[in-house]
Structures are given as structure tokens and as C-alpha cells.
Amino acid sequence: MRIATWNVNSIKARLPTVLEVLDAINCDVVCLQEIKCETNAFPYMELEERGWNCEVLGQKSYNGV
């Protein structure tokens, strides 16, 4: 089993790059941090069309250390 983790620093701003990388890598599980969007705003459809199952917990905003 291959697992990858990635701090994307805004899934919406980097969605084309995220999709390109996910298509290119051979991983079973990918954990995306710092998605910077609420759960209902996550681009589920774009990832699920490529065969990924998504579990998301987004937050409205968080600014801290």
C-alpha cells in the first residue's frame, strides 16, 4: 500500500495541478492538508471522476500557529 501526503495550500487555487499529480502518481491513499475550503466547497466531483473516494473535513477559516 502506498500513501502520500501533501500540503496543497488551497485546493481551489491548485486544483489543475492536484489533478495532474494525482493522475501521475501511483498511490492508494493521498492525504491533502491545508485545503482551505469548507467541506461543502471541496471539489468532490473532479476527484471522484478520476476514481478517488473523498473524506473531507474543511473549515471556514483558521489563522493561527
> pLDDT tens digits, residue range 28-59?
999 999 999 999 999 999 999 999 999 999 88
What's the per-residue H, E or C state across 1-65? Answer: CCEEEEECCCCCCCHHHHHHHHHHCCCCEEEEECCCCCHHHCCHHHHHCCCCCCCCCCCCCCCCC
Number of domains in the chain: 1
Question: Within a domain: residue 63?
Answer: no
Residue 39 lies in a domain: yes
**Domain range for 33:** 3-48
Q: Is the residue at 64 inside a domain?
A: no
pTM, rounded to two decimals: 0.82
pLDDT tens for residues 6-29? 999 999 999 999 999 999 999 999
Determine, yes or no, domain membership for 57: no
* Within-domain flag for 24: yes
